[in-house]
Amino acid sequence: MPRVADHDERRHQVAAAVRRLIAAEGLNGVTVAKTAAEAAISVGLVQHYFRNKDEMLLFTYSHVLERIEHRVTALVARSESIGTRIEHIVLDALSESMPLDDERRQEWRVALAFTGRSADDPRLSEVKVAALNRTRALLAQAVTNAKECGEVAPETDSAREAARIAAYTEGLSAHLYADPAGMPPAAALAALADHLATVFSGECRLRRRPPGERPT
């Protein structure tokens, strides 16, 4: 009997193929036959795991979210261990979902395709809404933590500020993806950093500064 790891490996192999096809040809370029060829497996094997294009897209989108979440989790753990400002952790975490390089542009293109498809499919829409809710919840928790340590003013509404940050990041990402010459990565990151600086304007009373760092 095939191991669960084998099933996961095959499904991830298909997801990687779908991601590359979407990046190269858009969602209309994704077919079972093309996906099988891109993944170097048989059409029958693809159909064994996914009944149709929407199932492939759903799994690929979920896989992209998992990739981003794993990177963010590692980044946050590393940054917290050395006493990084919450503001800077949020900036670095948000940058993982922005189309700043080839890999993240591929991921963002999948998310864009999924968003378009979800407009006409309630099942896909539920997944998209759940992802947005998780993002806003994590940002709201970061703002709340920053309020407790002094980086954010105590009267700040965490949920409202989280929604603003999420929307601002999404807008920057859209401009960056569509017009990287007019909105290059460095400019997009600088704009996001400027916005976050207006929210995280205080000094954390609890933060342990790395050796040699001066107060901000």
Instruction: From 46, 165, 26, 182, select the one nearest 109 (Cα to Cα).
Output: 26
* pTM, full prediction: 0.86
Instruction: From 51, 79, 44, 59, select the one nearest 14 (Cα to Cα).
Output: 59
User: Would you say domain 61-199 falls under CATH 3.40.50.1100?
Assistant: no
Question: Is residue 152 classed as helix, strand or coil in its secondary structure?
Answer: coil
208 band by pLDDT with thresholds 50, 70 and 90: low
Residue 1 pLDDT greater than 50, yes or no: no
The tens digit of pLDDT for each residue in 39-61 reads: 999 999 999 999 888 888 889 99
The tens digit of pLDDT for each residue in 71-125 reads: 999 999 999 999 999 999 999 999 999 999 999 999 999 999 889 888 888 888 9
> Which one-letter DSSP state was computed for residue 154?
T
What residue ranges do the domains of the chain occupy?
61-199
70-108: burial string, b at 16+ Cβ within 10 Å, e else: ebbeebbeebeeeebbbbebbbbbbbbbbbbeeebbbbb
